Amino acid sequence: MFLSACAKLPTKSLLFNDPDPALLNVWPPPPERPRIKLVKVFKGAEDFLLPKGRIESFFEALTGEHNQPLEFMAPAGVASDGDRYIYVADPSSRLVHRFDFHENEIIYLTHSGTEPLASPVGVALDSNGNSYVTDSVKAKVYKYNANAEYVGVLGEGVIDFQRPAGIAIAKNDFKYVVDVLANKILVFDRNDRFVSDFPNNVHSQDLNKPVNIAVDKDDNVYVTDAFNFSVKMFDRKGNLLKVIGSVGDGPGSFSRPKGVAVDSESHIYIVDANFDNFQIFNQMGQLLLFVGNTGKKPGQFFMPNGIFIDRDDRIYVTDSYNQRIQIFQYIKEQASN
Amino acid sequence: MRIAAILIVLAILIGYDFSEGAGKKISEIGNKHNFSYYNISANYRAIPTDEIPGFSRSNQICVFCHTPHRSSGEGPLWNRQATTVSFFKHFSSPTLAIDDPAVKGASEYGQPNGSTRLCLSCHDGVTALGALFTTPLTYETYQVHFLDVKNNISGPNVHLPYQTYSSHHPVSFKYNIAVRNILTSPPYNKTEYWFSPAPGVKLDRAERMQCTTCHDPHQDKSENPDPTTPFWTSKTYAEVCKSCHNLVSPPPLP
């Protein structure tokens, strides 16, 4: 399939200025105080782009260009700057979708230099708009600048990743990358220099096939530990602080824990692909709420995977096999009164 | 009689494999889907310790795919009314869950359903690499057949959205008499679609092809194990294909 690098078509709706009034879903339902509100069901290109104008169609006929926007195949990792961009890693289609809500433009990250991506599963943004994409098959982490131009490989010549997957970037632009097969978290500083990894105790068996990661405002690190059916909380030095959840099918337990994220009040959100929901925990590890069940209606999921929370507590969940992103809003304590 | 009994006991003790040509059983060391800590030959296995709070199942083999009933016993603090929810619906086992009306109702065309969800929940490109072959569009011919059918059958009868990209045989579609009749009748007149299953090849209870139609996640039954056809459900590659394709046209080789 021929892929145009850029599909630039007009649009009228800006993502964050136009919450869909039809979406009245809140969790928990009344009469409880609402904590989570669904604000957008984003199907990607088909929601983003208006039908082409006649002039553009004329030029397309003239030039033979096909600015064919692509739908989501099975989106995995997701990241946003909370204003202009949403990045969606889509390993099944071997590319990362970048939606630019200022320029009304979709760009597809498909290559690292001349090499095509093989399995982009994770994506994260630093404060300068650079994006970092983890490729689980190429076993590399690729960096792109704010113009979505390929820059280079993270840790090149220093770190040999075995299978990078989840990636999170802290407020100080330190990068935290999960290596699934190495059972490690690798940390890089704001200049992309390798700093450390953890757990680093030789006898440590803290992690077994970790898959996803989040960092909170205090630089505590949360790691989805797939083969232990839990999320582990570490401090910035890599000391294990807490274990949340275990295998089981009741509230507070996990079957296939995937993405993890933290909101501004340090609540911990964990997606489960088998339960078709995400569960929210407090810092004590107590279950606060679960959101979603199986289905394709707004607020329902079909094997959700990635989750990201932006600076305004908007929660982006990749609803993989509904082939969409669902965006929720966390309603703070004071805001709801 | 006594000698026979002794021989049987000896055979069990030394782990003789009565099913000639088959791979290790799920309960045996060497089966890659045996994730218990004692399966020392596998890269993927549990941690041999009970020191990790809340996790003491490292010697169990079923728990990694078949989630056991277990609840924290506490309701969510933000929703006290949800205390009635004791267990989440999930695909704990293909023989238990897929016929649940709620699950069926939600498993519409275009989405993986039934036991295939269990496979994809780990084979997602992260925990385990996806079922990705490296030759896209190999099945173009077959794709056209299925696309044609799609326009004539509503509901969850066929499924192929991932085929274009993974070049994998489509899964999670119904393959019952009605579907085959359409395929072999005008305007298609296809002759290669039938169903004469080889031993081990089976559709699920809803007559759907799933990953488990060709792959047995518990044991590789192939005579010549091949990494491109892992956990094969029958002795040879071809007899699995021939269950549905009568080879008037070439089988969909990777």
Interacting residues of A162 by C-beta distance below 8 A, sequence separation 6+: A139, A179, A180, A181, A182
User: Residue B189 phi/psi, 5° resolution?
Assistant: 55, 35
- Of A247, A235, A245, which is closest to residue A288 (Cα–Cα)? A245
Q: Can you give A94-143 as a three-state secondary structure string?
A: CEEEEEECCCCEEEEECEECCEECCCEEEEEECCCCCEEEEECCCCEEEE
Residues 6+ apart with CB under 8 A from A330: A35, A36, A263, A264, A265, A267, A309, A313, A314, A315
What is the SS3 assignment for B1-67? CHHHHHHHHHHHHCCCCCCCCCCCCCCCCCCCCCCCCCCCCCCCCCCCCCCCCCCCCCCCCCCCCCC
Q: CB within 8 A of A280, min separation 6: which ones?
A: A35, A36, A267, A268, A269, A270, A287, A288, A289, A290, A291, B76, B78
- Calculate how close chain A gets to B167, using CA atoms only, in Å: 11
d(CA A148, CA A138): 19
Measured between CA atoms, how close is A146 to chain B, in angstroms? 26
| Contact assignment for A256 to B121 by CB distance below 8 Å | yes
- Evaluate the CA torsion angle B190, B191, B194, B198 in order and state its sign: negative
**Average pLDDT for chain A:** 87
- In tens, the pLDDT along B99-127 reads 334 333 433 345 788 888 888 888 888 88
**Are residues B47 and A243, on separate chains, in Cβ contact within 8 Å?**
no
Indicate yes or no: CB of B121 within 8 angstroms of CB of A273.
yes
How many CB atoms within 10 Å of residue B21?
13
Is the Cβ–Cβ distance between A278 and A288 less than 8 Å?
A: no
* Cα distances (Å, whole numbers) of residue A105 to A67, A73, A97, A304: 11, 19, 10, 26
Q: How high is the ipTM of this complex?
A: 0.83
Residue carrying the six token digits 């016993």: B73
- The torsion angles phi and psi of B214, rounded to 5 degrees, stand at -110, -25
| Residue in A with minimal Cα distance to B134 | A118
CA atoms of A18 and A21, how far apart (whole Å): 9
Q: What is the mean pLDDT of residues A281-304?
A: 94
**Residues A186-202: tens digit of each pLDDT:** 999 999 999 999 997 65
Strand A140-144 versus strand A85-90 pairing type:
unpaired
Mind giving me the DSSP string for B157-211? T---TTHHHH-PPP-SEE-SHHHHHHHHSTTT--SSB---PPTT----TTSEE-H
Among B124, B137, B159, B164, the residue to mutate for chain A (most A Cβ within 10 A): B124
Handedness of CA B63, B64, B68, B74 (dihedral sign): positive
Distance from CA of A56 to the nearest CA of B (A): 28
In chain A, alpha helices (H): 45-48, 54-63
Q: How does A16-32 read in b/e, with b if 16+ C-beta sit within 10 Å?
A: beeeeeebebbbbeeeb
Among residues of chain B, what percentage have pLDDT more than 90? 6
Q: Which residues contact A322 (CB under 8 A, 6 or more apart)?
A: A296, A300, A301, A302, B111
Question: Which candidate from B47, B90, B161 shows the least CB-CB separation from A274?
Answer: B90
| Interface test mutation site (partner B, options A93, A183, A254, A321, max chain B beta carbons within 10 A) | A321
Pull the structure tokens for residue B32: 């890659």
Is residue B149 within 8 Å of B177, Cβ to Cβ? no
Contacts of B251 (CB under 8 A, 6+ apart): B238, B241, B242, B245
The length of chain A in residues reads: 337
Q: Which residue of A has its CA nearest to B132?
A: A92
**Are A280 and A289 contacting, i.e. CB atoms less than 8 angstroms apart?**
yes
Looking at residue B165, what is its pLDDT?
Answer: 35
Q: What is the pLDDT of residues A134-155, one digit of tens each?
A: 999 899 999 999 999 999 999 9
pLDDT score, position B3 = 61
Q: Which amino acid is at B41?
A: S
What band does A303 get if pLDDT is binned at 50, 70 and 90? very high
List the pLDDT tens digit at each of the 254 positions of chain B.
Answer: 566 555 555 544 444 444 456 888 888 888 888 888 888 877 788 876 555 544 456 677 888 888 888 766 668 889 877 656 667 766 544 333 333 343 334 333 457 888 888 888 888 888 887 644 333 333 332 332 333 233 222 222 223 333 333 445 667 877 878 777 777 777 666 666 678 888 999 998 888 888 899 999 999 999 888 776 789 999 887 788 888 876 544 444 43
Q: How far apart are CA A323 and CA A293, in angstroms?
A: 16
Picking from B43, B80, B165, the nearest residue to A73 by CB comes out as B165
CB A318 within 8 A of CB A88: yes
Tell me which chain B residues have a C-beta less than 8 angstroms from the C-beta of A94.
165
Please report which confidence band the pLDDT of residue A67 belongs to, taking 50, 70 and 90 as the band edges: low
Closest Cα in chain B, distance from residue A264 (Å)? 17
Q: Which residues contact B176 (CB under 8 A, 6 or more apart)?
A: B203, B207
**Chain B neighbors of A163, CB-CB under 8 A:** 126
Chain B residues touching A181 at Cβ < 8 A: 43
- Model pLDDT for residues B5-46, shown as the tens digit of each residue: 555 555 444 444 444 568 888 888 888 888 888 888 777 888
Place of tokens 């002039």: A55
User: What string of DSSP letters covers A42-56?
Assistant: E-BHHHH-PPPPHHH
Are residues B74 and A286, on separate chains, in Cβ contact within 8 Å? yes
pLDDT at B101: 42
- Which tokens in the block code for residue B137? 């569009």
The whole-angstrom separation of Cα A324 and Cα A299 is: 11
- Distance separating alpha carbons of residues A212 and A78, to the nearest angstrom: 12
Rounded Cα distance between B147 and B150, Å, is: 5
Tell me what the pLDDT averaged over chain B comes to: 66
Q: Alpha-carbon torsion B236, B240, B246, B250, what sign?
A: negative
Other CB atoms within a 10 A radius of the CB of residue A55 amount to 8
**CB-count exposure of residue A222 (10 Å: 0-12, 13-18, 19+):** buried
Q: For B87, which of A76, A250, A279 is closest by C-beta distance?
A: A250
Check residue A117 and give its pLDDT. Answer: 92
Spatial separation of the C-alpha atoms in residues A218 and A235, rounded to whole Å: 9
For B33, the token pair is: 């889907």
CB within 8 Å: B89 and A294: yes
Query: Strands A240-244 and A230-234: what pairing?
Result: antiparallel
Q: Which of A92-106, A162-176, B211-225 has the highest mean pLDDT?
A: A162-176
Cα A62 from Cα A71, distance rounded (Å): 25
Which residues in chain A are closer than 8 Å to B62, comparing Cβ atoms? Answer: none
Is B225 in contact with B232 (CB distance < 8 Å)?
yes
Nearest CA in chain B to A209: B127
Distances (CA, A) of A261 to A187, A327, B127, B135, B254: 18, 13, 18, 36, 39
Q: CB–CB of B121 and A274 under 8 A?
A: yes
